[in-house]
């Protein structure tokens, strides 16, 4: 296996993605992307940090639309998707705005195309990254506002590295990262006495594998839209994720 270069600066990894505007108003049950009319109520579903940011945006929005009421409902990620699937299938109780991860949009919008408003006349594709526009463009129709592209960077505790005798500048590849991680885990302890883990995410989760795919110039699909999870690049990343996991230097969901 060739050595995959370690990410050392921001990379265009789509971790969180789109703000999807549903096609059913909680009042009328019809598509209405212009719900800013006087006296309208806009309902929003989102989770923690995203919801707080939307609340901040809402305050700015209300400066020019004082008669609009915006109702926020905070819930967990899986709760959002469960409730979205239920309301899309029944056509009842659907929020006006739903916060989704980018990779989730196509599944919902393809299965329930009538549940999403057509925002093609509102969203300018030139204002966003092509990859983000791809996530919210379904069958030629733009169904959401791209929100963000999660950059990736590596941070470390200098005191832990010094204690373990690790020089950050010597870490050039994931193999280097693993070896450094072993030193840190064997040498350093958290305040509660647990071994310090080099990687704060579970390597057996799909997010870590997706990060490696992006870094390795690969993805879940090829340029023609065919599933590419068994490509050489994808398999190499699976092997690397297993190597990180087996090294015991990362947090595990069961820890």
Structure tokens at 4: 């995959």
Segment (H or E) for 58: helix 48-64
Q: What is the pLDDT of residue 3?
A: 44
Q: Which residues contact 184 (CB under 8 A, 6 or more apart)?
A: 160, 161, 164, 166, 196, 198, 249
3-class secondary structure, 98: strand
Residues 112 and 232 in one domain: no
Q: Which of 77-81, 107-111, 198-202 comes out lowest in average pLDDT? A: 198-202
Ranges 1-10, 18-27, 135-144, most confident: 135-144
Structural domains counted in the chain? 2
Q: Which of 94, 111, 146 is the last residue of a domain?
A: 146
Residues 27 and 85 in one domain: yes
Q: What is the DSSP letter of 85?
A: H
Q: Which of 111, 146, 181 is the last residue of a domain?
A: 146
Range of the domain at 173: 158-247
Q: Which residues contact 79 (CB under 8 A, 6 or more apart)?
A: none
Residues 59 and 88 in one domain: yes
Question: Among candidates 249, 216, 246, which has minimal Cα distance to 234?
Answer: 216
Q: What is the pLDDT of residue 221?
A: 82
Residues 70 and 107 in one domain: yes
pTM flag (> 0.75): no
Residues 164 and 111 in one domain: no
Q: What is the DSSP letter of 118?
A: -
CATH code for the domain in which residue 182 is found: 3.40.190.10
Residues 242 and 172 in one domain: yes
202 within a domain of the structure (yes/no):
yes
Q: Which of 94, 123, 146 is the last residue of a domain?
A: 146
208 within a domain of the structure (yes/no):
yes
What value does the mean pLDDT of the chain take? Answer: 82
- Percent of the chain scored above 70 by pLDDT? 83
* Cα–Cα dist 222/186, whole Å: 40
């Amino acid at each position: 296996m060739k050595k995959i270069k370690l990410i050392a600066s921001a990379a265009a990894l789509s971790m969180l993605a789109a703000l999807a505007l549903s096609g059913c108003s909680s009042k009328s049950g019809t598509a209405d992307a212009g719900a800013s009319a006087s006296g309208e109520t806009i309902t929003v579903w989102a989770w923690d940090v995203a919801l707080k940011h939307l609340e901040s945006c809402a305050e700015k929005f209300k400066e020019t639309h004082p008669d609009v009421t915006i109702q926020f409902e905070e819930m967990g990620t899986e709760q959002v998707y469960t409730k979205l699937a239920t309301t899309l299938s029944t056509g009842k109780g659907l929020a006006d705005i739903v916060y989704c991860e980018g990779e989730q949009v196509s599944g919902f919008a393809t299965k329930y195309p009538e549940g999403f408003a057509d925002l093609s006349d509102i969203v300018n594709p030139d204002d966003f990254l092509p990859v983000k526009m791809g996530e919210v463009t379904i069958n030629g129709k733009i169904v959401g506002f791209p929100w963000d592209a999660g950059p990736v960077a590596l941070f470390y505790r200098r005191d832990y590295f010094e204690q373990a005798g690790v020089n950050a500048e010597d870490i050039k590849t994931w193999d280097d990262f693993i070896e450094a991680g072993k030193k840190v885990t064997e040498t350093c302890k958290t305040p509660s006495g647990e071994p310090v883990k080099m990687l704060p995410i579970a390597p057996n989760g799909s997010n870590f594998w997706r990060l490696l795919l992006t870094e390795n110039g690969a993805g879940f699909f090829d340029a023609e839209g065919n599933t590419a999870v068994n490509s050489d690049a994808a398999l190499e990343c699976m092997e690397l994720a297993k190597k990180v996991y087996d090294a015991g230097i990362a947090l595990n969901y069961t820890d």
